[in-house]
Structure 1
């Protein structure tokens, strides 16, 4: 298990993922070198990591498409199919789940047209797949970057939160912004010097661009911790139905629940999808009952438990939930079939 200081360090990085070690050390009451060393130990062991992906600032401009894809595999083909999906830069999350699907994918692409071409030209032609169902996300009421370990006291939270840039209007990302998004997905705490070298720019320009992207929520970072170390080892996914005129108010209440990691409106046979962390399978059943108490008009249509989250926001996980590697997140480099690319690499 993570000790108290490790948990406080993770919580601090969940609030401000790129905060200086001097600030984090000051908030935690340790020196900056100790804070950096502790993070390096957790990062190298795969216990914790910082991931970055395109954020709500893009969707607010009508840019970007988020979708959830259920995949049924031919008997004996699940592992090969899952490995193929984990290698794709636009399939950001891959989970082996229970219930009426074998795999649940989270897919990020530039628009719904690209999603359609990918489903028809790539997904539907993959060997080992029996069937699939695609659900496009509408409003995202909460997502993983807002989840907190809650190891800091309120004064510590306030101090580290002062490092978070104030919200700014989002501008349309250009080629450099896209390269920076991809580079940050590999290491959300990469130095400005390293990012400048990778993306072909100057450190000062990169610093300004990165600050602006975070302030406009064009990108969103999350400090993840291996689930067994968080005391929330079980991931549960619930598909539900709410009256259309009540979905926003109900989803906002649901998003405030302690266990909820993400909550999004979706198209398809259900109009809401909720993902949460639970302490056990039995606790997942309690969570479902609490979900209905929180939103009395909600009707649960289906639910799953994640047996193995193989990939989470681009990062590859072993069967125990520890990070083993990563695939850069790139929604603009989509294979729409027969080896063709739908967009050029920025």
Structure 2
């Protein structure tokens, strides 16, 4: 991996923002939107990805769980002294554990876990986590509704005219209903989670299907909202290097309204309803540790109906949507996201 020095320049920021809007767009379309020739855009992107400074991945979207084809859980893990690193690396290697964070506060690790169904999640927590050396205790919190997630987060480097040019050139898509995933769909999702910009030909070679079939399946996955491509940037390069995690509670009847207001804050990367002693989880990227408290104050002033019960800071996000990160937050590799074997005996 090449060393990436300094900060993102204006062109890098514009490129990342453009790919956050259209992660799989061709270089000609991206270049036209930001006013740079396609060759230069491709060269810049290669430089960013080789350094682990930015990347495009893909993950199963909330629509999949809403259709009954999966469930999402947040699992807190307490580790024995001296065992945290070994436990974290073992869990990061699991294909359905999409995020692993070493966090401050009342738990050592915070996991984001996908499973095809609740019974599979239960089996994994009981038999895998329950038998992994170095784990002292776990607590599982099921997600109910995901109101917003990281694919909607933007660097905000483009002006309104550039955004319009980029979105106007997007291919038209009709309403595509959610459907039952096939093994090929799952295999494509796994490959795209490693490289969200992989070509249809490359995907066809890896998944053993024709390019035309792959094109149709990928387009259907994206158009239905069952898969979500996402352009990420290493947090130190985003000017929002601190990840704050809040757990809150509000009246059940006000949960949706409160959540929708929370998602309006620029810093918010995730807002999800959870089932437990708190019913809302929020992840926000902020500028500094001091800003964590300022963000919470602003949230309290804006939403008096929301009570923050607990809070933590991600000390080392070791894995983010399948991407493996170093201590600085740069991508060093990836583990394909695949839930097909979760809970298997």
TM class, shorter-length: over 0.9
Say whether 1:271 aligns with 2:273: no
Q: TM-score, normalised by structure 1?
A: 0.96
Q: What does residue 241 of structure 2 align with?
A: 233
Shift of 1:207: 1.0
- The secondary structure found in structure 2 opposite 1:122 is helix
Structure 1 distance, partners of 2:341, 2:14, is 37
**2:117 pairs with 111, 116, 121, which one?**
111
Structure 1 distance, partners of 2:133, 2:42, is 45
Structure 2 distance, partners of 1:137, 1:175, is 25
Say whether 1:100 aligns with 2:94: no
Say whether 1:307 aligns with 2:318: no
Q: Aligned-residue CA RMSD in angstroms?
A: 1.0
Q: Give matches, 1:1-346, under 5 Å.
A: 1-162=7-168, 163=170, 166=173, 167-334=175-342, 336=343, 341=344
- The secondary structure found in structure 2 opposite 1:49 is strand
Structure 2 distance, partners of 1:95, 1:160, is 34
Q: Please list the CA deviations of residues 82-139 of structure 1 after superposition, one character each: whole Å capped at 9, or x if unmatched.
A: 0001100000000000000000000011011100011111111111011010001011
Structure 1 moving runs of 4+ over 6 Å: none
Shift of 1:144: 0.5
Structure 1 distance, partners of 2:110, 2:63, is 25
Q: Please list the CA deviations of residues 246-276 of structure 1 after superposition, one character each: whole Å capped at 9, or x if unmatched.
A: 0001100100100000000001110000000
Shift of 1:164: 6.1
Structure 2 distance, partners of 1:153, 1:50, is 22
How many corresponding residue pairs?
337
Shift of 1:310: 0.3
Q: TM-score, normalised by structure 2?
A: 0.96
Q: Please list the CA deviations of residues 56-83 of structure 1 after superposition, one character each: whole Å capped at 9, or x if unmatched.
A: 2212211111100000000110000000
